[in-house]
């Protein structure tokens, strides 16, 4: 989701709108929040500095509302539980990476995944001075060109090539975890590697087919989006990686199945002796079901939190009802909310939503360093 091009509000106007929302919704959570005093302080700060700084409670509130406003996210039900890590005072790439490791450890939680966000210093509205994490996802697999066998995730070939220009070189397997690349004002672009302890992974097996493990498939445990800007009250936090947990179909019906990603359905179909020359045999559909069954089974066996698409649909409808009871309308992008597998069997398929874009929110950054961001979930 990208910020509307026709937004011409000044920083002060954006700040005033956010503080009015905070005054309205924070009243029950933080009765001591003095909106009038706060607005006066923000106006003075903007006049003197050209920007302002959110209080910690404003940062937490803004990040949670940004998740609530995420039109493409089916998993918004626990938006109030988002844990916010305030890393705005971080001063070096090394400190940024240490902070990211702390955040990832909390989010992973040994597989009992917790929604969280790591927020670094925002950009000054009048300066190009923001920290950026150049990865599309904080943890993702490398993709290699034909010179290295075309292994890995094709969606990450451009970024992998960029990492190699920085001096990183992966082993060349299908599942090499990419380094974190940090662009921080006043410092060279720097990369850091995850350890096996940092980045939890799940080997995929099937509840019934022993041969499935021979495919040597795996996926990482936590989906962490890192190429979006968190925008709160006119301030843009360009480095604000955040996570929920996977819906099984993100892995099984997209990342491992798409023809331009890992494209494993033909291999599964061959193992099951399906007639891949006959579209009417529904070999893709049958292989897809077994792959998604393997994903859910494997994450469950590993003790890693995941949700199936039917349960996710029910949870989203509960979110909609809860919002209605709170007097708020729900916005949503139907194309993204409907699961990529068996969509018509879920309740969300039969609904419609206004796709109005609201702030606070998460918005895709412009392409950086020749590397484009991908809106895929994981």
Catalytic site residues?
73, 76, 245, 250
Measure the CA–CA gap between 264 and 266, rounded to whole angstroms: 6
Element (H, E) at 132: strand 132-133
* CB count in 10 Å sphere of residue 350: 9
Tell me the C-alpha to C-alpha distance, in Å, between residue 174 and each of 159, 177, 347.
Answer: 15, 9, 36
Q: Rounded to a whole number, what is the distance in angstroms from the first to the last CA of the chain? A: 16
Q: Is 378 within 8 Å of 304 (Cβ atoms)?
A: no
Whether omega before 360 lies within 30 degrees of 0, making that bond cis, reads yes
Query: Measured on CA atoms in the order 21, 228, 223, 108, is the torsion positive or negative?
Result: negative
Cα–chain center distance at 140: 11
DSSP for 72-122, please give it. Answer: T-S--TTGGG-EEEEETT--SHHHHHHHHHHHHHHHHGGGS---EEEEEPP
d(CA 83, CA 104): 12
The conformational region for residue 233 under phi > 0 = left, psi -120 to 50 = alpha, else beta, is left
How many residues are listed for the chain in this entry? 378
Q: Is the dihedral of CA 273, 275, 279, 280 positive or negative?
A: negative
CA distances from 167 to 17, 161, 190 (A): 45, 10, 10
The whole-angstrom separation of Cα 166 and Cα 189 is 8
Q: How far apart are CA 348 and CA 331, in angstroms?
A: 13
Structure tokens given for 57: 């409670």
């Amino acid at each position: 989701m990208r910020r509307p091009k026709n937004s011409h509000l000044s920083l002060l106007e954006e700040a005033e709108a956010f503080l009015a929302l905070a005054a309205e919704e924070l009243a029950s959570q933080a009765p001591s929040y003095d909106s009038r005093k706060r607005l006066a302080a923000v106006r003075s700060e903007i006049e003197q500095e050209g920007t302002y700084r959110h209080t910690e409670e404003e940062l937490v509130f803004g990040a949670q509302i940004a998740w609530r406003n995420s039109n493409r996210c089916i998993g918004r039900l626990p938006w109030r539980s988002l844990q916010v890590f305030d890393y705005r005072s971080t001063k070096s790439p090394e400190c940024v990476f240490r902070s990211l490791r702390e955040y990832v450890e909390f989010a992973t939680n040994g597989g009992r995944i917790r929604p969280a966000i790591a927020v670094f210093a925002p950009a000054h509205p009048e300066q190009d001075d923001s920290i950026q994490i150049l990865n599309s996802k904080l943890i993702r697999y490398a993709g290699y060109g034909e010179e290295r066998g075309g292994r890995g995730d094709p969606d990450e070939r451009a970024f992998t090539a960029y990492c190699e220009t920085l001096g990183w070189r992966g082993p060349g397997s299908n599942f090499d975890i990419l380094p974190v690349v940090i662009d921080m004002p006043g410092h060279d672009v720097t990369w850091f590697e995850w350890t096996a302890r940092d980045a939890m992974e799940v080997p995929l097996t099937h509840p019934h087919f022993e041969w499935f493990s021979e495919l040597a498939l795996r996926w990482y445990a936590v989906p962490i989006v890192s190429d979006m800007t968190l925008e709160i009250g006119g301030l843009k936090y360009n480095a604000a990686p955040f996570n929920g947990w996977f819906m099984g179909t993100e892995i099984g019906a997209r990342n491992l199945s798409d023809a331009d990603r890992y494209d494993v359905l033909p291999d599964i179909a061959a193992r099951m002796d399906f007639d891949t020359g006959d579209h009417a045999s529904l070999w893709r559909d049958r292989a897809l079901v077994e792959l998604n069954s393997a994903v859910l089974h494997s994450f469950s066996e590993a003790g890693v939190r995941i949700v199936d698409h039917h349960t996710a649909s029910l949870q989203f409808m509960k979110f909609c009802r809860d919002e209605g009871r709170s007097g708020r309308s729900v916005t949503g992008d139907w194309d993204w909310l409907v699961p990529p597998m068996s969509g018509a069997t879920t309740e969300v398929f039969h609904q419609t939503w206004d796709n109005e874009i609201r702030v606070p929110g998460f918005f895709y950054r412009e392409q950086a360093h020749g590397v484009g961001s991908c809106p895929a979930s994981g």
